[in-house]
Amino acid sequence: MNGTLAIWYEPDEYNHSTAPVDRDPQQPNLEIHFNLWRDNPSKTNFLDIGLRLSEIQLVKRIYLYFPISLQLNQFQDLSAVMAYGQTLDAVFNMVVEVGSKTDLRYETTTNGEPFVTVHKVNVGEDLILTPVEDGLKGPGSTITLAEAMCTRLRDAGPGPQYIRLRLHLAGKTQSLFTQEIIGQEKVFVSSSQRLELTELRLNEQRSFPHSIAKRASANAFKIVRVHYFLIRELGHALVTQHAPLRKVRRLEAKLWASYLRGREIAARDAAEEERLLSRLIIYHWREGSKEDPIQDFTAFASFQASTPGLLFYMIGVILLGAIGSALNDWGKSYWGVTETTLPYWCGGLAILWAIARTGVWGWLEAGAGRFRRVCARTIKRFSP
């Protein structure tokens, strides 16, 4: 990752000035949900960001900084998608029911008690994108949740307010959180090892651009909890991680299918979607609490997978066939090779190629060298 994400708010000066002078204003509380989805076969590559806000009476605008240049059309509101089927249960990991609705929000309950109010974000109106040119490793972008959006959050009532956005990672942004390292194996192999480094950072102050640092530090949220879910396919084995996992589980395909596609899945497509999604594993990290809020968050994990090297492997097979054919013609002309002895020639050639490919030849040479040294020492010891 080239830098850090950042989140902060702009205080509402009018509400601040009318607050009782004998009481300090309460710092807005924030719980963040990050879901990083990466699965090339099912064309799944995006970051979901959920913000659960409380005590936000003094919040005028909310800002999110990304250390890369973005386009507004990469963002998608997920409020409607979350109401499909049992998606709310999957997102919050509890039984959540939808209550009263308006065009811009709906209330939810759990065990008959009010839970959160989910708000719709109109990407073309409620989000404002501003380029940031002084990033440490290139340009970045700031996404602003506009004043009208924050007014709706404040007016919805005293309970927790929730918004959820999806950032589609395409083009240059595909490598925003990941870096791939291909192993330097021999050329003629059927597969090679690929190491994938995945890192997400939040509010790492030393990585802030100058134009962001002062505002982000002065008006920081009280981050009471961060949930980070990293979703990878089964073929990627977890090698290292920044902290112990809270939980690992397979993705519940039926619960998540509509959510991942951002639409209701038709019955005829359900089986194929479930087949693709059943290959995914969810890794879950969690930090912070109301009693022990956090200032920043860093998550690192590396995965290993095999990459087919079929092109060079096929070239090797073709070359082997051509060499075998040439040896056949040469053997017939000079060595009297017949159809009866030809399989032995081809078998010997295949064995030699396998020895060269697997490194057995080097092992045999090393063993022969050790044998010669032992013999030399033995002769020297018993010679008169």
pLDDT digits (tens, 9 = 90+) for 58-73: 899 999 999 999 999 9
Q: Identify the pLDDT of residue 244.
A: 80
Phi, psi of 354 (to 5 degrees): -65, -40
CA dist., res. 101 & res. 107, Å (int): 7
Q: What distances in angstroms separate CA 292 from CA 243, 246, 295, one per listed residue?
A: 17, 17, 10
Per-residue model confidence (pLDDT) at position 44: 82
Cα 110 to Cα 66: distance, rounded to the nearest angstrom: 34
142-177 CB burial, b ≥16 within 10 A, e <16? bbbbbbebbebbbebeeebbbbbbbbbbeeebeebb
CB atoms inside a 10 Å sphere around CB 217:
14
Would the pTM of this model clear 0.85, i.e. be above it?
Answer: no
pLDDT at 316: 56
Q: What is the pLDDT of residue 106?
A: 96
Token pair, residue 234, equals 């089964």
The predicted structure's pLDDT at residue 171: 86
User: Which pLDDT belongs to residue 229?
Assistant: 95
Token reading at 331: 């053997």
- Confidence at residue 361, expressed as pLDDT on a 0 to 100 scale: 46
CA angle 197, 203, 206 (to 5 degrees): 85
Residue bearing tokens 């005590």: 55
Tell me, what's the pLDDT at 253?
81
Residues of the chain under the 70 pLDDT cut: 1-2, 14-25, 42, 183-192, 266-268, 306-384
- 154 within 8 A of 59, measured Cβ to Cβ: yes
Q: Is 36 exposed, middle or buried (0-12, 13-18, 19+ CB in 10 A)?
A: buried
**Domain positions in the chain:** 6-308, 311-382
Query: What residue ranges in 251-366 does DSSP mark as E strands?
Result: 280-287, 297-308
3-state secondary structure (DSSP) of residue 171: helix
Report CA-CA distances (Å) from 373 to 369, 370, 376, 379, 383: 6, 5, 5, 10, 15
pLDDT at 278: 81
Q: Which positions ≥6 away from 119 have C-beta within 8 Å?
A: 79, 104, 105, 149, 152, 153, 156, 161, 162, 163
CA 350 to chain centre: 42
Give the pLDDT confidence of 256-310 residue by residue, as tens digits. 888 887 777 766 677 777 777 788 899 999 999 989 999 999 999 999 876 555 5
